[in-house]
Amino acid sequence: MARFAMAAANPGATPGSSFIDEILRANAEFAEGETARGLPGPAGYRGAIVLCMDARIDPIQVLGLPPGTAHIIRNAGGRMAEALRSIAISQQMMGTREVAVVHHTECGMTTFTSDSLRLRLREELGADASTIDFLAFNDLAESVREDVRIYRASAIVRQDIPVRGFIYDIRTGRLHEVTS
Amino acid sequence: MARFAMAAANPGATPGSSFIDEILRANAEFAEGETARGLPGPAGYRGAIVLCMDARIDPIQVLGLPPGTAHIIRNAGGRMAEALRSIAISQQMMGTREVAVVHHTECGMTTFTSDSLRLRLREELGADASTIDFLAFNDLAESVREDVRIYRASAIVRQDIPVRGFIYDIRTGRLHEVTS
């Protein structure tokens, strides 16, 4: 790894409560274990999944994803507009042939509007975010349908494959398909 | 869930080899299990992590992330330019106070260029992607440094918190910090 001109992370060197330092300690344990070895090569890519960054959702567990099968694209809300670049790469370079978009109950994206966040950013950071759409929403099923429509309107992604939308119920752990 | 006007996903109804159908069957098993219950509420958010959509990486396992602590933002390459909206929301709405950006060895983003992908999209889909930067890269450490710089140049994210960059070695499972 020397050619990357970087320092090996030394999780023991920085005691304290830093979250990233805790991650580094956890990663050092992971790297010592069996799971870190024998990772699959780039084969068997089947689908791309777009979902929210929410800290309570572990998509690999929730969706039972075998390693090496799905590209997982996550952003605030699980919004398609910000996922098209990644999906185009997933399809053209890695050959995925299905897309799922998943929004979820109790999502933070329903608790604010672009305008309220812009105001907050001006107050907190003095930032002008007037040109940024923060992609908040308040109707979960409609936001899923909108994201399927955004996919279907894009020229850079395949239109000859299944694209399906879901709501994940964070209380029951269950996916519900959104019909158009 | 009736108010969402959606059909309950019925994983038993569609036999066959569809990837999404397989996910639905796995999710039904997950929802029956103990893990799906008692998910933590929105408390304890500590950091936001930006990393690649790569199908071989399970960040929750690799980074030992306790549920409810980290927003996980994933896109092709783990690029910061496409993560700033999500990080602003993470910080302002959920109070995260650290940021890590993680690129990884053997990344597909090093196997093409924006130009080569644009050509392919024109050939395969007849798409004009001339205005899209696909954010490919060929120097891992430099792409991490670039993404830290992009964060530091943004007005909509906090500049009074730690922002650290890493390379994840997919062979060893270990994070290596990228020094500036």
- Does ipTM surpass 0.90 in this model? no
| Percentage of residues in chain B having pLDDT higher than 90 | 69
Residues on chain A touching B73 (C-beta within 8 angstroms): 53, 74-76
Q: Are B112 and B60 in a shared domain? A: yes
pTM of the shown model: 0.88
Interface contact flag, A112 B120, Cβ < 8 Å: no
d(C-alpha A52, C-alpha A80), whole Å:
10
Helices B84-94 and B140-152: crossing angle, nearest 10°? 50
The per-residue pLDDT for range B44-81, each reduced to its tens digit, is 789 999 999 999 999 999 998 888 899 999 999 999 99
Q: Are B18 and B92 in a shared domain? A: no
The per-residue pLDDT for range B125-176, each reduced to its tens digit, is 999 999 999 999 999 999 999 999 999 999 999 999 999 999 999 989 999 9
Residues on chain B touching A45 (C-beta within 8 angstroms): 55
Interface contact flag, B134 A88, Cβ < 8 Å: yes
Residues on chain B touching A90 (C-beta within 8 angstroms): 53, 76
Interface contact flag, A63 B23, Cβ < 8 Å: yes
Q: How far is B149 from chain A (nearest CA, A)?
A: 16
Phi, psi values for residue A22, rounded to 5°: -65, -40
Q: Say what the pLDDT of residue B140 is.
A: 97
Q: Are B121 and B80 in a shared domain? A: yes
Q: Are A75 and A108 in a shared domain? A: yes
Residues on chain A touching B167 (C-beta within 8 angstroms): 1, 4, 6
Helix (H, G, I), strand (E, B) or coil at A46: coil
Q: Are B71 and B92 in a shared domain? A: yes
Which of B6, B112, B175 is closest, CB to CB, to A27? B175
Q: Is the pLDDT of residue A157 over 60?
A: yes
Q: Are A141 and A116 in a shared domain? A: yes
d(C-alpha B8, C-alpha A10), whole Å:
47
Which of B18, B60, B176 is closest, CB to CB, to A58? B60
Whether the CB-CB separation of A11 and B177 falls below 8 Å is answered with no
Q: Are A54 and A2 in a shared domain? A: no
Helix (H, G, I), strand (E, B) or coil at A19: helix
Interface contact flag, A132 B85, Cβ < 8 Å: yes
Q: Are A156 and A82 in a shared domain? A: yes
The pLDDT of A149-154, averaged and rounded, is 98
Phi, psi values for residue B153, rounded to 5°: -95, 0
Count of A-B CB contacts under 8 Å: 320
> For residue A13, how many other CB atoms are within 10 A of its CB?
9
Structural domain harbouring B19: 1-38
Q: Are B115 and B151 in a shared domain? A: yes
Q: Nearest-CA neighbor of A100 among A134, A133, A67, A65?
A: A65
Residues on chain A touching B90 (C-beta within 8 angstroms): 53, 76
Number of domains into which chain A is organized: 2
Q: How confident is the model at residue A14 (pLDDT cuts 50, 70, 90)?
A: very low
Q: How far is CA A155 from the centre of its chain?
A: 22
Q: Are B7 and B71 in a shared domain? A: no
Q: Nearest-CA neighbor of A81 among B59, B132, B102?
A: B132
Token representation of residue A148: 């399927």
Q: Are B23 and B99 in a shared domain? A: no
Biggest CA–CA distance in chain B, Å, is 54
Q: Are B58 and B145 in a shared domain? A: yes
* Nearest chain B residue (CA) to A36: B173
Lowest mean pLDDT among A34-48, A60-74, A154-168: A34-48
Q: Say what the pLDDT of residue A13 is.
A: 37
Token representation of residue A74: 């996550």
* Strand stretches in chain A, DSSP E: 7-8, 47-52, 70-75, 99-104, 163-169, 174-177
Which of B31, B56, B71 is closest, CB to CB, to A53? B71
Interface contact flag, B76 A65, Cβ < 8 Å: no
Interface contact flag, A6 B141, Cβ < 8 Å: yes
Interface contact flag, A8 B69, Cβ < 8 Å: no
Q: Is the pLDDT of residue B90 over 50?
A: yes
Whether the CB-CB separation of A128 and A139 falls below 8 Å is answered with no
Q: In Å, what is the CA distance from B149 to each residue of A8, A121, A126, B139, B153?
A: 21, 20, 20, 15, 6
> For residue B92, how many other CB atoms are within 10 A of its CB?
21
Q: What CATH number has the domain bearing residue B53?
A: 3.40.1050.10
